[in-house]
């Protein structure tokens, strides 16, 4: 099917979903988007997309993309009251860009397969800026022919698209990547206040970290923002915490020791208990700054 003959549906126009949907318009396919918030529609309507607040209205699409906050909302959107799945027909494809648990992903794939509906889990990595630029990393789980069908569309939103294996493999790959990022963020929160406590200049320390061997994507993203006291540029901690829960469940089920991750999880939990859940992961530093009575900020902030 030519892309200009294809009908696409897209549910979820949040921080990542809206720029992804805008980039899907580059495919030339007819796009209908759905969200519970009509105020998210204006830019997409201006670019030629159709809009609806009812996810069931996406049932006519050949391929439906989901970009939703968590596993519970994904399952409700598909199988809940007025959900999408009962209205889909055999041969359609559902592509889930959300980050959900591996167990839920496999269950969704099996339930849809019983109806003759193909499923690809395709979580993304790269934050909002790369979602806008269409340069995300996309990790895919699904049958090879199904992934091959959707890959040209995924190339509109990402520059690195990797087929990891059967359904659920994309979620596992995303989880591994995310946990490494989470651990790095927790390490910054713990170690940087120590540097300030010992009298080291935060701006000079930031320069050393981001040009030295302590550098990571987390440090490059968060450290300049920590110096400014900016904790709102990334994904909220209360939403990101689901990755740590998923990892703990997998580690317990498979008997895999993960002591470093367990320690990082404690840092997240302290930040959440302190009421910092609406801040991004850089906000974890507030826990240790409070404990040590210091701030890791540039002068005058």
Find out whether 21 and 10 touch, Cβ atoms under 8 Å: yes
The band of 144, judged by pLDDT with boundaries at 50, 70 and 90, is very high
Q: Mind listing the pLDDT tens digit for each residue in 42-62?
A: 999 999 999 999 998 999 999
**Integer CA distances (angstroms), 288 to 43, 117, 196, 258, 292, in order:** 41, 49, 11, 23, 6
The band of 4, judged by pLDDT with boundaries at 50, 70 and 90, is low
DSSP run (H or E) holding 79? helix 71-79
Q: What is the rounded CA–CA span in Å between residue 131 and residue 137?
A: 9
Cβ-in-10-Å burial (0-12, 13-18, 19+) of 222 comes to buried
The band of 1, judged by pLDDT with boundaries at 50, 70 and 90, is low
- What integer pLDDT is reported at residue 194 of this predicted model? 98
Provide mean pLDDT across the span 253-272. Answer: 97
- What integer pLDDT is reported at residue 300 of this predicted model? 83
Write down the domain spans for the chain: 3-165, 173-292
- In the predicted model, what is the mean pLDDT of the chain? 95
Q: Which CATH class is domain 3-165?
A: alpha beta
Bridge partners of 139, per DSSP, are 162
Q: What is the rounded CA–CA span in Å between residue 105 and residue 125?
A: 17
Range name among 4-13, 107-116, 141-150, 165-174 with the lowest pLDDT average: 4-13
* Degrees to nearest 5, angle at CA 18 with 15 and 21: 145
Bridge partners of 138, per DSSP, are 124, 161
Which residues are marked as active site?
Answer: 174
Task: From the options 2.60.40.1930, 1.10.1040.10, 1.10.10.60, 3.30.750.24, give the CATH code of 173-292.
Answer: 1.10.1040.10
Look at residues 49, 21, 31, 278 and name the one whose alpha carbon lies nearest to residue 136: 21
- What integer pLDDT is reported at residue 150 of this predicted model? 98
Domains 3-165 and 173-292 fall in the same CATH topology = no
Provide mean pLDDT across the span 254-274. Answer: 97
Asked whether residue 269 carries a pLDDT value surpassing 70, the answer given is yes
User: Please, what is the end-to-end C-alpha distance for the chain in angstroms?
Assistant: 56
Look at residues 127, 292, 299 and name the one whose alpha carbon lies nearest to residue 217: 127
DSSP run (H or E) holding 19? helix 17-24
Q: What is the rounded CA–CA span in Å between residue 154 and residue 28?
A: 13
* Degrees to nearest 5, angle at CA 158 with 154 and 164: 70
Q: What is the rounded CA–CA span in Å between residue 66 and residue 53?
A: 14
- What integer pLDDT is reported at residue 87 of this predicted model? 95
| Tokens 């713990």 sit on residue | 190
């Amino acid at each position: 099917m030519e892309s200009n003959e294809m009908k696409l549906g897209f549910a979820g126009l949040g921080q990542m979903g809206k720029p992804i949907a805008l980039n899907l318009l580059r495919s030339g396919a007819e796009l209908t988007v759905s969200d519970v918030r009509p105020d998210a529609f204006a830019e997409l309507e201006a670019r030629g997309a159709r809009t609806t607040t009812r996810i069931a209205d996406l049932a006519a699409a050949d391929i439906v993309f989901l970009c939703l906050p968590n596993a519970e909302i994904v399952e409700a959107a598909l199988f809940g009251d007025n959900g999408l799945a009962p209205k889909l027909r055999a041969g359609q494809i559902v592509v889930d860009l959300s980050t959900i648990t591996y167990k839920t992903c496999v269950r969704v794939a099996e339930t849809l397969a019983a109806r003759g509906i193909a499923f690809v889990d395709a979580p993304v990595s790269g934050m909002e800026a790369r979602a806008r630029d269409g340069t995300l990393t996309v990790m895919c789980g699904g049958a090879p022919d199904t992934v091959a069908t959707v890959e040209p569309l995924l190339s509109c939103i990402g520059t690195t698209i990797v087929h990891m294996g059967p359904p659920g493999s994309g979620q596992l790959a995303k989880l591994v990547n995310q946990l490494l990022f989470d651990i790095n963020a927790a390490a910054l929160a713990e170690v940087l206040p120590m540097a300030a406590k010992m009298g080291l200049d935060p701006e000079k320390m930031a320069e050393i970290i981001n040009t030295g061997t302590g550098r990571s994507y987390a440090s490059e993203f968060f450290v300049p923002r920590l110096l400014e006291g900016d904790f709102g540029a990334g994904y909220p901690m209360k939403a990101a915490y689901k990755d740590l829960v998923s990892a703990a469940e997998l580690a317990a089920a498979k008997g895999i020791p993960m002591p470093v991750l367990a320690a990082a999880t404690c840092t997240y939990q302290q930040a959440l208990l302190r009421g910092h859940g609406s801040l991004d992961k850089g906000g974890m530093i507030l826990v240790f700054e409070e404990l040590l009575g210091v701030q890791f900020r540039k002068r005058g902030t």
